[in-house]
Amino acid sequence: MSVSSSTRRRKPAVAPGKDDRRARGVAPRGAADPSRDGKHAKDDPFVTAFDRTAEALFGAEPEWLRAARRAGIGHFSELGFPTPKHEDWRFTNVAPIRDAGLAPAVSAGQVAGAGVGRIPGLESNVLVFVDGFFAPALSRSGASEGLRVEALSAAVAAEGDGIVREHLGKVVAPGTHPLVALNTASWRDGALVVFAAGQTVKEPVHLVFLSTGRFAVAPRVLIVCERGSEGSVVESFHGTGDTPCWVNAVTEVAVGDGARMEHTKFQCENMASFHTATVQSRLGRDAYFTSHSIALGGLIARNDINTVLAGQNSTSDLNGLYICRGAQLCDHHTIVDHAVANCASHEFYHGILDERSRGVFNGKIFVRKDAQKTDAKQTNRGLLLSADARIDTKPQLEIFADDVKCTHGATVGRLDREALYYLEARGVNPAEAGRMLTHAFAGEIIGRVAFAPLREYIDRFIFDYLEGLPALR
Amino acid sequence: MDTLLEIKGLRAGVEGREILKGIDLVIRAGETHAIMGPNGSGKSTLSQVLMGRHDYEVTGGSVTYLGKDLLELETHERALEGIFLAFQYPIEIPGVNNVYFLKAAYNALRKHRGEPEIDAMDFLAMVKEKARLLEFEDDFLRRSVNEGFSGGEKKRNEIFQMAMLDPRLAVLDETDSGLDIDALKIVAHGVNSLRRKDNGFLVITHYQRLLNYIVPDFVHVLVDGRIVRSGGKELALELEERGYECVEQHAAA
């Protein structure tokens, strides 16, 4: 695209201590404090619903988990449902989610076929959840050496303590994000995926979340990559029908020393729905994590993609592609937390916006005092296909170390007229020329997906999706 | 149907500035015309106006192509009707694969003619044959359109595309600029192999050199938006010897 580009290299510190509260806030540990749960705002519908149903729903769970839920609702009650007055929600007004009054799903709805959301080439381990409930009849799990995949509720019931207790709520900090807190209090099911130490599992595990109706659903996923393992997990979110639902998801990814993990989130709920989700990863030494957030669906979609580089020589790559039309709003907030020295992070986000849709990208990078030799790069590009579309973009670099390389660049532009003319001069009609250029722009992100069948599926899906955009018809 | 293109009193400009000040030109099937002229005379403007570039405005005159009013057509429609412009500065399009792009263009042509899409294997065979003509390596086919191409490769790619799309009327806008002698010979060979009784070429160039290899039937000299002299191929040699000043003076007289 012929758009202006600003890349600046920023070396020295922003005044240390500035906004220290928020800086501490992303620290992943030690935020939960169950004693706070006495302060519930009694009139909050989410809190009241929790108080009314918690005993019946969660009474049989182990005490540590029930305590975590109480702490979660406590944090939520304290933080309150997000409003644009919160700095992190300035561009994204989620009041319509609250006002929709969607009640938690009590049972799974009907799904027309077993094939919804399935991806060719991802056959061995597919866990399907309908309205948040595990659907064994729609799922498949084959034996793979070094891989454990099961419904999270089943894992908790089977083992009580163990790997779930060790990691659940430890990667993410429920006390810093109201919707993470709400999920922590109210999740009904989700998945546990464990890659055993030293094992490589080539085919991605596929988690499919289907929404069928007017419900609020809070899926919870825990992914543990033990030392030296290598694996990939895809989470797909699809809505069947056209009634609004609200998916409020939390995924925690613990990436052990020397482990390599690819996480792909493919979000395409219907245009009436709401999607709020956090994917929080924490990396050990010599670890590698890459996240792909492909966001197409929902009237309001908010993705928080956070990564903490907690072990030296680790690398996190965060990639994102969002496509909006109509009145859609898609918001990505990323936090890359360089907690220790000698780590690298790369962010590539592309947004495509048609009609009167809006995109938000907010990329925070923390470089802690000890995180010398950090190499952090953030690139965020927006393509506006209509005069009414808009992107708000904000890089936030908070650097407390002095020997680091941090760059960020943000550009927003339109389709390159020279390139369109060139294609048209060869007989390609204007709409197809626009699709070719837009697809190429999307392809820069899609091309980063490592597993070929998944990459090809997404590429084909996006190609077809672009054909439906009014500006490209 | 003998006449491919008839330009009458064409006036055109950009941003309110008139560049073409009344051009008359007729190209018949089987002919190759060369337009020569100093920088700023309007050579490239003429090529862009023929292709329908959005920021050029036609203020007078007419252009008839195969009996149709060319100026009424959109750029892609002109291409589908058989007009090809080899760009002076071909555009790089990262992320759009060469072969994919060509196939889209080729199938658009087929569709326009009411023919079915070409079989993928047949298309690839055709691509390989034409690539050999322009001495392209296979790897260039896997690359994005013009991305990372040298100046010479870009120009060869233009002629390669032309060979693939087989136009009725091809306009070559300073295809020789930036080419070394070897690349120039390859390009000229590519063009010459496409010359037939039923198509025509308009070769725009600043230098006579290209015309040693693509020998024109007619040479026109464009100065300040007007054709001031027309003649046979020997006119190009005269210009090479005596420079544009002589025709400019001639025009002023």
- Distance between CA atoms of residues A92 and A84, nearest Å: 7
- Name chain A contacts of B145, Cβ cutoff 8 Å: 422
Q: How many CB atoms lie within 10 A of CB B174?
A: 21
Q: What's the number of CA atoms in the CB half-sphere (13 Å) around residue A249?
A: 33
Across the range B130-141, mean pLDDT stands at 84
Q: From A437, which residue of chain B is nearest by alpha-carbon distance?
A: B96
Per-residue pLDDT at B249 = 66
Q: Which residues contact B123 (CB under 8 A, 6 or more apart)?
A: B103, B106
- Distance between CA atoms of residues A134 and A140, nearest Å: 12
Q: Which of A256, A326, A343, A331 is nearest to A295 (CA)?
A: A331
Name the token pair of B136.
Answer: 């392209």
Q: From A430, which residue of chain B is nearest by alpha-carbon distance?
A: B76
Residue in B75, B101, B144 closest to A421 by CB:
B75
- Name chain A contacts of B90, Cβ cutoff 8 Å: 422
- Distance between CA atoms of residues A265 and A253, nearest Å: 13
Per-residue pLDDT at A41 = 54
Is A423 in the B-facing interface, judged by CB distances under 8 Å?
Answer: yes
Distance from CA of A432 to the nearest CA of B (A): 9
User: B63-80 pLDDT, tens per residue?
Assistant: 999 999 999 999 999 999
10-residue mean pLDDT profile of chain A (473 residues): values are 36 36 35 42 82 94 95 96 92 94 88 84 95 94 88 89 92 94 97 97 96 93 98 95 93 98 96 97 98 97 98 98 98 98 98 98 97 97 97 95 96 96 98 97 97 97 96 94
Q: Are A255 and A226 in contact (CB under 8 A)?
A: no
Start-to-end CA span in chain A (Å): 20
- Name chain B contacts of A441, Cβ cutoff 8 Å: 95
Contact B54 A421 (CB under 8 A): yes
Is A1 in the B-facing interface, judged by CB distances under 8 Å?
Answer: no
ipTM of the complex: 0.96
- Distance between CA atoms of residues A246 and A183, nearest Å: 12
Q: Which of A270, A82, A304 is nearest to A182 (CA)?
A: A82
SS3 state at B190 = helix
Per-residue pLDDT at A141 = 87
User: B169-214 pLDDT, tens per residue?
Assistant: 999 999 998 888 988 999 999 999 999 999 999 999 988 899 999 9
Q: Are A183 and A221 in contact (CB under 8 A)?
A: no
What is the count of residue pairs from A and B with beta carbons less than 8 Å apart? 72
Distance from CA of B51 to the nearest CA of A (A): 7
Higher pLDDT, B243 or B103: B103
Residue in A417, A427, A441 closest to B109 by CB:
A427
Distances (CA, A) of A69 to A51, A181, A184, A266: 11, 8, 6, 27
DSSP secondary-structure letter at A230? E
In the block, residue with structure tokens 């063009």: B191
Per-residue pLDDT at A22 = 36
Across the range B123-127, mean pLDDT stands at 93
Per-residue pLDDT at A26 = 36
Per-residue pLDDT at B216 = 96
Q: How confident is the model at residue B240 (pLDDT cuts 50, 70, 90)?
A: confident
DSSP secondary-structure letter at B26? E
Name the token pair of A18.
Answer: 């500035």
Q: How many CB atoms lie within 10 A of CB A196?
A: 18
Is A459 in the B-facing interface, judged by CB distances under 8 Å?
Answer: no
Distance from CA of B240 to the nearest CA of A (A): 32
- Distance between CA atoms of residues A199 and A259, nearest Å: 9
- Distance between CA atoms of residues B156 and B168, nearest Å: 19
Residue in B85, B96, B104 closest to A425 by CB:
B85
Per-residue pLDDT at A142 = 79
Chain B residues whose C-beta is within 8 A of a chain A C-beta are 51, 53-54, 74-76, 79-80, 84-85, 87, 90-91, 93-96, 101, 104-105, 108-109, 112, 144-145, 161, 165
How much is the mean pLDDT over chain B? 93
Distances (CA, A) of A113 to A116, A128, A138, A140, A418: 6, 12, 9, 15, 46
> At A328, which amino acid appears?
Q
Is A9 in the B-facing interface, judged by CB distances under 8 Å?
Answer: no
Contact B96 A417 (CB under 8 A): no
- Distance between CA atoms of residues B79 and A108, nearest Å: 55
Distance from CA of A349 to the nearest CA of B (A): 16
Tell me phi and psi for residue A195, to 5 degrees: -100, 120
CA B40, B44, B50, B54 dihedral sign is negative
SS3 state at B235 = helix
Q: Are A407 and A438 in contact (CB under 8 A)?
A: no
Distances (CA, A) of A431 to A358, B54, B234: 22, 16, 46
pTM (two decimals): 0.91
Distance from CA of B173 to the nearest CA of A (A): 13
